[in-house]
A and B are shown apart, each in its own frame.
Chain A
């Protein structure tokens, strides 16, 4: 008996250990009470020579691999001493964050430049994983004033600039022009959700599509797109650091969304990617990122219309959140690598390159001086995304600054929109969860 027991224990332990190895192999933290914050005063790049090679970690937002390659190919002749390696570091912002955080913990294999999304950059900042780029901006003469102010300000904290905008987007209302025409509706996005609620039955009756509208996939970024509904009804996920998802207004907004699915039965919920569902003709309309625009235009076999996000009964306009990703420089690499990364960052965000990126994806150009005339001539729908920028609003703190809040919001939204859960009870529960995250993970790290 003993021989077999030992052997099996041994095998069992070996299997278990393999699972634990993934975490443990990351390297350990210091428990000596050292602070995470980067010593910004120590970053002086005077006399530093850029490294010969850096990695650029990206998830190719908006299927941008080709345009990223093209920009890097343009970079190399201009800066022959710096080689940029394009690395696919994940399929989405979460996967790239996972790889980055793991490398950070392992203290090895970090990139020079990394794509960081709206919900991740603050985490990197609070962990001391990225450096403020103010010194590099000055040294390399990056024209910060020429960036879209609202987009560049999203990465400001503690009077320092922690990243620059890259693939920045807003949600956009996508609609099937053919379906709208067949239903006798005007060729535009609805001004408010109430207006759309009047249109929806006509669309459902005439289009042949499964839904008049499909809510974006909850496993994606439900917390992002549902802000539009919450704001339109006068609610929000949070106001500053006060969690308000259980307010009367927030509950009313989500109750209306639930009714559109179960009571009025003209809406559905996407399982994977609403833009794909829309392009496949499953729904007459949806909201999705501007970064999906070019993909939708290519895939759809019908006339695609885009418009601003609808308002709500309390706030009829200006209820669109910004989103997307920026580019940051890790703290755990050499100054030479940081300087090389900043050189590439400057090039990547030059007006002509942001225009090329925008043309290839649908993301908004981040530079004011970007010449978009050729891009808009080819894809006039991008103009709607650009115009909507003036009507955007900074996202609720709860969604972008609380670790895991986006996932908790998605789970709550799933309970409401796919299981017909009680809205008030679900939001009360969510509030408790979010407050717990704030108290444990964020409040201790905030400056007084």
Chain B
């Protein structure tokens, strides 16, 4: 993984400084500063840039930003999905959401799901990466096996795990019955449903964290480790004082990507708990409100905007405060 570059904004190039208002204007006959010159080559470069970037920008604008803006507009409507008409209600959908009992439940579920899945995937991923980093036989196969769940379809994974968790004829219930125990009501009990989905989500995603951490571990400088070992630092100390700080760019990268991913987790929740009973995170609640039984499209759009705002704030906070603690070299 390549460490992101850090630009020091306090040392802006001289050519970006504004011209002094007292400076005499350049003679018209003389060419301006070199940066203003629109040479044939730079025009060509710009056209190439446009040719490369414009199609993507058009696509992103059409399929990402335009719907995003539309969504914000819909959040101000009282609109039943499927209905051709709607009423403008301003911020009423937001007021309804934040004053309803559902808001605290949904936000709480989102927080629990996100924190545990992000923390669980990263901690377990790191432990697995440490195991895979050791020079023993079978690590190549183990790496593939650990990463495989990540590339599997969430729908398929959800269905298989539902069979495992089914309290009636699931594999887990069968094992528990063999031990004289009844299976917990994984699917009907809202709290256990959340536990079930979290377990499966971590299982599916820890391979991603493991592989990224493994790449980070393998790029750590050997000389530093060897020096620490010569100085008498044991394995745990080397890990805590050297490896972990040097892995901070990797940890930071994973923190952002897994958090965004967890906040937008949908497929497993949809397949394993279609009613969202106990598992309604913000994104799933937005789905249920619009496309589930309620058809409250405007209200759903408002929840989506709340999710958007939360993601934006988290990302900005991470970039502004967490990244400062990251060691890039």
Do A and B belong to a common assembly?
yes
Residues of A near B82 (CB, < 8 A) are 100-101, 104-105, 123-124, 127, 129
B185: chain A residues within 8 A (beta carbon)? 269, 271, 418
Known contacts A17-B65, A271-B167, A414-B277: A26-B319 contact under CB 8 Å: no
* Given A20-B304, A28-B70, A407 contacting B86 (CB threshold 8 A): no
Contact present for B291 and A280 (CB under 8 Å) = no
- Output the least CB separation between A216 and chain B (Å): 11
Specify which chain B residues have a CB less than 8 angstroms from the CB of A419 in the assembled complex: 189-191
- A134 in the interface (beta carbon within 8 A): no
Point out the residues of chain A lying under 8 angstroms from B9, CB to CB. Answer: 1-2
Q: What is the bound-complex CA distance between A406 and B275, given in angstroms? A: 10
Cβ < 8 Å to B, chain A residues 2-31? 2-5, 8-9, 12-21, 23-26, 28-31
State which of A33-41, A48-56, A63-71 sits at the interface with chain B: A33-41
CB of A442, distance to nearest CB on chain B (Å): 11
Q: Contacts A12-B311, A17-B64, A272-B166 given: A1-B7 contact, CB under 8 Å? A: yes
Find out whether the CB atom of B277 lies under 8 angstroms from the CB atom of A410. Answer: yes
The 5 closest A-B pairs by CB, nearest first: A17-B64, A24-B67, A24-B70, A29-B86, A21-B67
A-B contact pairs, 15 of them (CB 8 A): A2-B9, A3-B5, A8-B256, A13-B64, A16-B68, A28-B86, A29-B85, A30-B85, A94-B292, A119-B293, A123-B82, A403-B80, A407-B275, A411-B190, A441-B294
Q: Give every chain B residue within 8 A of A31 (Cβ-Cβ).
A: 77, 85-88
Residues in A whose Cβ lies below 8 Å from that of B294: 403-404, 407, 441
- A9-B316, A20-B68, A272-B166 known; 6 other A-B pairs, CB under 8 Å? A20-B304, A21-B67, A31-B88, A271-B185, A404-B292, A406-B293
Q: How far is the CA of A102 from the CA of B169 in the complex (A)?
A: 36
Assess whether A34 is in contact with B64, with CB atoms less than 8 Å apart.
no
Q: Are A17 and B68 in contact (CB-based, < 8 A)?
A: yes
A128 to B86, CA, bound (A): 13
> What chain B residues lie within 8 Å of A129 (beta carbons)?
82
- Whether A24 pairs with B81 at a CB distance below 8 angstroms is no
Residue B264 interfacial (CB < 8 Å): yes
Q: How far is the CB of A286 from chain B (nearest CB, A)?
A: 11
In the complex, A218 has a CB within 8 A of chain B: yes
Which residues does chain A contribute within 8 Å of B190, judged by CB atoms?
411, 414, 419
Specify which chain B residues have a CB less than 8 angstroms from the CB of A406 in the assembled complex: 293
Please indicate the chain A residues that have their CB under 8 angstroms from the CB of B6 in the complex: 1, 4
Contact of A270 with B168 in the complex, beta carbons under 8 Å = yes
Complex Cα spacing A18 to B273, Å: 23
Query: Once the chains are docked, how many angstroms separate the CA of A20 from the CA of B60?
Result: 13
Q: With contacts defined as CB atoms under 8 Å apart, how many contacts are there between chain A and chain B in the complex?
A: 198
A270 to B71, CA, bound (A): 38
Decide yes or no whether A96 CB sits under 8 A from chain B: no
Binding site for A on B (CB under 8 A): 4-7, 9, 60, 63-68, 70-71, 73-74, 77, 79-88, 162, 166-169, 185-191, 256, 260, 264, 273-275, 277, 283, 286, 288, 290-295, 297, 300-301, 304, 307-308, 311-312, 315-316, 319
For the complex formed, measure the closest distance between the CB of B189 and the CB atoms of chain A, giving whole angstroms: 5
- Inter-chain CA distance A18–B260, complex, in Å, is 13
Q: Does A210 contact B (CB under 8 A)?
A: yes
User: Is A411's CB under 8 angstroms from B275's CB?
Assistant: yes
A396 sits at the interface (CB 8 A): no
- Say if the beta carbon of A277 comes within 8 Å of chain B: yes
Q: How far is the CA of A19 from the CA of B291 in the complex (A)?
A: 13
Residues of B within 8 A of A217 (CB): 188
- State whether A12 touches B168 (Cβ < 8 A): no
**Closest-CB distance, A129 to chain B (whole angstroms):** 5
Q: A441, B80: Cβ atoms under 8 Å?
A: yes
Which residues of chain A are near B297, meaning CB under 8 Å?
Answer: 23, 26, 105
Contact status B81-A26, CB under 8 Å: yes
Question: What 0/1 readout, one digit per residue, does chain A (94-110) give for beta carbons within 8 Å of chain B?
Answer: 10001011101100000
Are the C-beta atoms of B274 and A219 separated by less than 8 Å? yes
B71 & A24 in contact (Cβ 8 Å cutoff): yes
B192 to chain A, nearest CB (A): 9
Smallest Cβ distance from B303 to chain A, in angstroms?
A: 10
Task: Give Cα distance in the complex from A414 to B192, angstroms.
Answer: 12
B73 CB to closest chain A CB (Å) equals 8
Other-chain contact of A23, B4, B74, B83, B191 (Cβ < 8 Å): B74
CB-defined contacts of B73 to chain A, threshold 8 Å: 28
Considering the chains assembled together, what is the distance between the CA atoms of A5 and B318 in angstroms?
10
A417 within 8 A of B: yes
Instruction: From A8, A12, A271, A403, name the one whose CB has the most chain B CB atoms within 10 angstroms.
Output: A271
Q: Contact between B319 and A219 (Cβ–Cβ < 8 Å)?
A: no
In the complex, whether A282 has a CB less than 8 A from a CB of chain B is yes
- Report B-chain residues with C-beta under 8 Å of the C-beta of A8: 256, 315, 319
Beyond A36-B85, A219-B274, A219-B275, whether A277 also contacts B71 by CB under 8 A is no
